[in-house]
Amino acid sequence: MNRSAVVVCCVLILGNMEAIAQQSQSCGGPQLGTWKLQSFTTEDLATGEKSALFGEHPSGYLSYGPDCRMYAILIKEGRKAPATLVPTDAERVDLYGGFIAYAGTYSIEGDKVSHHIDASWNQAWTDTTQVRQFYDFGRPVTSEEIKLWNIDVRPDGKGLPQGSGTVAHGKSVYEANCEACHGPNGKDGIKDRLAGGQGTLASDKPIKTVGSFWPYATTLFDYIHRAMPYQAPGSLSVDDTYAVAAYILNLNGILPEDARLDQETLPGIRMPNRDGFISEPEFRKITNSRGVE
């Protein structure tokens, strides 16, 4: 029996999108980015009747770029794959009716966004403008809102806020917020032990505490400020956080009883296990998603 094979070869010739972008204006605003489709509802303007044209759980994406270009792809729930790589005529009809895809430029005026289509799955849409109404793209975040989230503290102390706290005040903060879990004097609680254990790390039974294991004192402030106390994370004031950090360091013999911590003195504390960690080379250079240090 002789069998024939069909080999399909596709060659894509891509134009330079940078050249296209230079012909359009730069776009900004809260619409920028890629949005995942959650629902697709059509409405009969005459009757007000609404219907889920692509099912209750369609899939797809809508993307707006800073170069004023956009694309949209909407896929019907339960859209079936053809039996073979090359679909039959009936399968083509079903596939065609189960998705919408187009691309072009966009412009925004008031609460309406206009899609100026230059490529489409349906050629009848090409060179047309489709106007869509949006209700809430959100708004730009304010500097004060960013400040509420930008609370991480680095080992070198960068990020520490202004404020201060004493060991004496930290004892009362600890008793009210921490002792129930970590026990009196940072020991014998139902949660992690915080004090003692120095000199045990190389033994058969190492005791890992703030004083014996942690390499940086600034980590103590960072963790408490973000995640403690357990029943109300982030509820301690900056001064109370400095104070309870000072008290825990005092329990470990690292600070004297009359000590005060602030953004200048905390980074200067050298923890007993500072040299007990060796950084891997790949983690010594920290960059963001764009490769910028």
pLDDT, tens digit, for every residue of 93-113? 999 999 999 999 999 988 889
pLDDT on residue 258: 97
Write the CA distances from 67 to 23, 24, 140, 282, integer angstroms.
Answer: 9, 7, 19, 34
3-state DSSP percent of the chain in helix, strand and coil, to 5: 25, 20, 55
The token pair at 156 is 């070198």
> Residue 132 contacts by C-beta under 8 Å, 6 or more apart in sequence?
112, 113, 114, 115
**pTM (predicted TM-score):** 0.56
pLDDT on residue 19: 46
Segment (H or E) for 91: helix 89-97
The token pair at 18 is 């940078």
* Residues of the chain falling short of pLDDT 70: 1-24, 136-138, 283-284, 286, 288-293
The token pair at 168 is 């004496």
CATH fold of 143-283 reads Cytochrome Bc1 Complex; Chain D, domain 2 (1.10.760)
- Can you tell me whether residue 2 is helix, strand or coil? coil
pLDDT on residue 111: 82
Name the β-bridge partners of 216: 270
Name the β-bridge partners of 55: none
pLDDT on residue 104: 96
CA distance 165 to 168: 9
CA distance 269 to 218: 8
The DSSP secondary-structure symbol of 216 reads B
Per domain, the residue ranges of the chain are 18-133, 143-283
CA distance 105 to 65: 9
pLDDT on residue 15: 52
Q: Which CATH number fits domain 18-133: 1.10.357, 2.40.128, 3.40.50, 3.90.550?
A: 2.40.128
pLDDT, tens digit, for every residue of 217-244? 999 999 999 999 999 999 999 999 999 9
pLDDT, tens digit, for every residue of 164-199? 999 999 999 999 999 999 999 999 999 999 999 999
Residue 217 falls in which region: left (phi positive, over 0), alpha (psi -120 to 50) or beta: alpha
